[in-house]
């Protein structure tokens, strides 16, 4: 791929000159622009320590017209933090815009699509020529629904839909959740170590020893895995990398590697699985999933201990979300490091062993990113449940999707019941997401839906993975559930020196360990790395350690990335 050194140098020069200009501008001429004020408001929201409060009571319906009552509901205040949450602020997981330690990891619970209730339901539909699963074996459905709700109440929504992935949040602002969380360990052979499950005790070493935990409850097989918080550097630049650019890089990789490296364009460019399409969705999904905030595009997760709990009002409105989005977009990329003899030698080693095939230096306008933003099969070592989203598989792939059973809907809160059909419809239109109230935001973390799994036999004891995929399957053109869970988006390496621990679950405490964990399409480079002389390995690590995070500056002194890019959207 042709390097764009001019763009790289010009951005660095602009970054430096702009910073110098801002620092040397007299205070009498430094009146913040409206955009700067907006970014400062966003920074305040980013650093805000949220607290919980009781949800606003639903006002009784008076003589208002439907639209007036719907607007009244929309204007209700939110309940603040939670109830389900993993942190109390954005900054807790992204100090200075960077990443966090494993104490802030997200724990995911994923159902195996080969579980009895899914396979038997599919067989029942086939045997009775059913297409919508309405008349599936009622005894099986009732038993399974109870088991799923006992395992984690959010696995079955009030409407009866099955969630294949749910977040096992670390905390709840309301009572009785701790028992639900701790009881999951009863269905795991040998239990779950506190150093794996509890954030205040969690260690990278424990995760590395047991990256995925397998459990079984009756006919339900499930898995627990973790995700580490990614850094936020230069996200506005990543947002501007075109999908056409990604497709071009993928084709070039496949051609130059003889098919050994075959990056796939995911659903988006954000998240460990490339599952989130836009920066705005990335920010809003984190607000809902991590802090339990009610926002226009995502509902806060339902209270796992009390499904009658409902908070309708927004915690952040559209204007506040815009400010938060603009602040995150203003976090600059790390500066391109000045080349030294040591880092120059290390970069040559980096390229020689093939790291640069996936860790592409420049994906304009993201200069110095060291990522292709594509999904790659990283093999068994890094395999984890909650697979990558299908995105746009392309003509060369097939990706059949399973049909999941549905269970009977159940009454929850009388809030919805008291709304007339016209009012409810107006409320949905005005608010945008009421129809999904209490739905899981696990898709934000990488849920890929329900692609067909490979037909491994059920093991005597729960295990992950269930077996070794045949090579022709792993490298074939059908995207089985088990194939997609080996795919990860190439993480950008800019700022990597300051953003450990590494890999999707934070199991690697050092850069050396992160390289050695590479498998699948990264196996050849990892093997070459192990065979390097000590001097060459040291040089490569020195090169990576030269990729520093940006120095945090006050918002009023920082470079306005939105203005730099000529965009304010």
pLDDT tens track, the chain, 569 positions: 333 333 334 333 433 434 433 344 444 446 778 899 999 999 999 999 999 999 888 887 788 877 787 778 778 899 999 999 999 999 999 988 888 999 999 999 999 999 988 887 655 454 545 544 444 567 777 888 899 999 999 998 877 888 899 999 999 999 999 999 999 999 999 999 999 999 999 999 999 999 999 999 999 999 999 999 999 999 999 999 999 999 999 999 999 998 899 999 988 999 999 989 899 999 999 999 999 999 988 889 989 999 888 888 899 999 999 999 999 999 999 998 888 898 999 999 999 999 999 999 999 999 999 999 999 999 999 999 988 777 665 656 777 788 888 888 766 555 555 555 555 555 555 554 443 343 345 555 655 567 889 999 999 999 999 999 999 998 888 889 999 999 999 999 999 999 999 999 999 999 999 999 999 999 999 999 999 999 999 999 999 999 999 976 444 444 445 454 454 33
Half-sphere exposure of 390 (CA within 13 A, CB side): 20
Q: Tokens for 301, please give them.
A: 């997760």
Answer for the pair 543, 343: CB distance below 8 angstroms, yes or no. yes
**d(C-alpha 506, C-alpha 514), whole Å:** 9
**d(C-alpha 281, C-alpha 271), whole Å:** 11
Nearest to 101, CA basis, from 199, 198, 197, 193:
199
Answer for the pair 456, 473: CB distance below 8 angstroms, yes or no. no
Nearest to 81, CA basis, from 108, 43, 54:
54
**d(C-alpha 270, C-alpha 446), whole Å:** 10
- Within 8 A by CB and 6+ apart from 8, the residues are 336, 362, 367, 368
Is residue 374 one of the residues assigned to a domain?
yes
Is residue 116 one of the residues assigned to a domain?
no
Q: Tokens for 13, please give them.
A: 């020069």
**d(C-alpha 11, C-alpha 334), whole Å:** 11
Is residue 369 one of the residues assigned to a domain?
yes
Region for 264 from its dihedrals, namely left if φ exceeds 0, alpha if ψ lies in -120 to 50, beta otherwise: beta
pTM of the model: 0.87
Nearest to 39, CA basis, from 251, 325, 334:
325
**d(C-alpha 152, C-alpha 181), whole Å:** 8
pLDDT computed for residue 142 by the predictor: 82
Q: Tokens for 387, please give them.
A: 């697979």
| Exposure string for 88-122, b = 16+ CB within 10 A, e = fewer | bbbbbbbebbbbbbbbbbbbbbbbbbbbebbbbbb
Half-sphere exposure of 356 (CA within 13 A, CB side): 17
**d(C-alpha 90, C-alpha 73), whole Å:** 27
Q: Encode 328-345 in three state secondary structure.
A: HHHCCCCCCCCCCHHHHH
Nearest to 207, CA basis, from 556, 557, 506, 520:
506
What is the SS3 assignment for 24? Answer: helix
Is residue 181 one of the residues assigned to a domain?
no
Give, in order, the Cα–Cα distances in Å from 187 to each of 224, 256, 467. Answer: 11, 47, 21
Nearest to 240, CA basis, from 123, 365, 350:
365
**d(C-alpha 251, C-alpha 464), whole Å:** 32
For 67-123, what is each residue's pLDDT tens digit?
A: 787 778 778 899 999 999 999 999 999 988 888 999 999 999 999 999 988 887 655
Nearest to 102, CA basis, from 506, 508, 511, 514:
506
Straight-line distance from the first to the last Cα atom of the chain, in angstroms, rounded to the nearest whole number: 30
Q: How many CB atoms lie within 10 A of CB 491?
A: 22
| Torsion (CA) 75, 442, 479, 357 in degrees, nearest 10 | 100
Pairing of strands 375-377, 487-489: antiparallel
Is residue 234 one of the residues assigned to a domain?
no
In the chain, the number of structural domains is: 1
Structural domain range at position 378: 242-270+334-383+486-550
Q: Tokens for 315, please give them.
A: 């915690």
pLDDT computed for residue 139 by the predictor: 72
Q: What is the CATH number of the domain that holds 520?
A: 1.10.760.10
**d(C-alpha 14, C-alpha 563), whole Å:** 12
Half-sphere exposure of 78 (CA within 13 A, CB side): 20
Is residue 370 one of the residues assigned to a domain?
yes
**d(C-alpha 229, C-alpha 105), whole Å:** 7
pLDDT computed for residue 231 by the predictor: 96
What is the strand order of the sheet 220-227 is part of? 165-167, 106-111, 220-227, 213-217
Q: Tokens for 295, please give them.
A: 């926002």
Is residue 212 one of the residues assigned to a domain?
no
Is residue 292 one of the residues assigned to a domain?
no
**d(C-alpha 91, C-alpha 14), whole Å:** 28
Degrees to nearest 5, angle at CA 408 with 407 and 409? 115
**d(C-alpha 399, C-alpha 392), whole Å:** 10
């Amino acid at each position: 791929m042709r390097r764009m050194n001019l763009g790289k140098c010009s951005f660095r020069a602009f970054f430096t000159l702009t910073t110098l200009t801002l620092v040397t501008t007299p205070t009498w001429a430094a009146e913040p622009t409206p955009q700067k004020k907006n970014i400062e408001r966003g920074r305040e929201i980013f650093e805000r320590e949220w607290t919980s409060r009781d949800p606003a009571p639903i006002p009784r319906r008076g003589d208002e017209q439907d639209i007036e009552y719907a607007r009244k509901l929309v204007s209700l205040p939110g309940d603040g933090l939670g109830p389900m949450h993993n942190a109390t602020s954005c900054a807790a997981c992204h100090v200075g815009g960077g990443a966090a330690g494993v104490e802030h990891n997200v724990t995911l619970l994923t159902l195996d699509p080969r579980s009895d209730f899914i396979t038997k339901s599919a067989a029942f539909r086939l045997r009775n020529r059913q297409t919508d699963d309405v008349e599936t074996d009622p005894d099986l459905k009732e038993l399974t629904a109870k088991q799923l709700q006992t395992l984690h109440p959010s696995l079955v929504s009030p409407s009866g839909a099955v969630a294949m992935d749910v977040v096992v949040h670390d905390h709840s602002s309301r009572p009785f959740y701790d028992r639900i969380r701790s009881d999951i360990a009863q269905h795991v052979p040998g239990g779950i170590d506190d150093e794996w499950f509890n954030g205040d005790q969690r260690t990278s070493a424990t995760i590395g020893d047991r990256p995925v935990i397998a459990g079984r409850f009756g006919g339900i097989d499930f898995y627990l895995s973790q995700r580490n918080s990614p850094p936020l550097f230069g996200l506005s630049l990543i947002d501007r990398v075109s999908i056409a650019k990604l497709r071009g890089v993928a084709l070039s990789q496949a051609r130059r590697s003889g098919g050994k490296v075959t990056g796939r364009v995911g659903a988006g460019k954000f998240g460990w699985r490339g599952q989130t399409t836009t920066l705005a969705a990335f920010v809003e999904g984190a607000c809902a999933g991590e802090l339990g905030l009610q926002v226009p595009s995502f509902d806060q997760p339902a209270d796992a201990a009390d499904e009658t709990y409902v908070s309708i009002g927004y915690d952040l409105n559209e204007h506040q979300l815009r400010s938060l989005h603009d602040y995150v977009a203003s976090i600059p990329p790390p500066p391109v490091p000045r080349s030294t003899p040591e880092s120059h030698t290390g970069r040559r080693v980096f390229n020689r062993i093939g790291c640069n095939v996936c860790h592409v230096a420049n994906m304009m306008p993201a200069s110095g990113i060291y990522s292709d933003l594509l999904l790659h099969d990283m093999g068994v070592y890094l395999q984890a449940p909650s697979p990558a989203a299908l995105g746009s598989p392309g003509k060369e792939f097939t990706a059949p999707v399973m049909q999941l059973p549905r269970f009977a809907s159940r009454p929850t809160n009388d809030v919805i019941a008291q709304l007339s059909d016209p009012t409810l419809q107006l409320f949905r239109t005005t608010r945008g997401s009421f129809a999904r109230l209490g739905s899981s935001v696990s898709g934000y973390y990488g849920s890929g839906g329900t692609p067909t799994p490979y037909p491994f036999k059920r093991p005597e004891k729960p295990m992950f993975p269930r077996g070794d995929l045949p090579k022709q399957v792993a490298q074939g053109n059908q995207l089985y559930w088990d194939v997609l869970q080996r795919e990860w988006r190439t993480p950008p390496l800019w700022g990597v020196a300051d953003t450990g621990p590494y890999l999707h679950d934070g199991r690697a405490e050092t850069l050396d360990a992160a390289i050695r964990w590479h498998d699948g399409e990264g196996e050849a480079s990892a093997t070459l790395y192990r065979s390097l002389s000590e001097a060459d390995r040291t040089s490569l690590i020195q090169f990576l350690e030269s990729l520093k995070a940006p120095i945090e500056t006050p918002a009023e002194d920082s470079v306005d990335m939105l203005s730099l890019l000529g965009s304010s959207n």
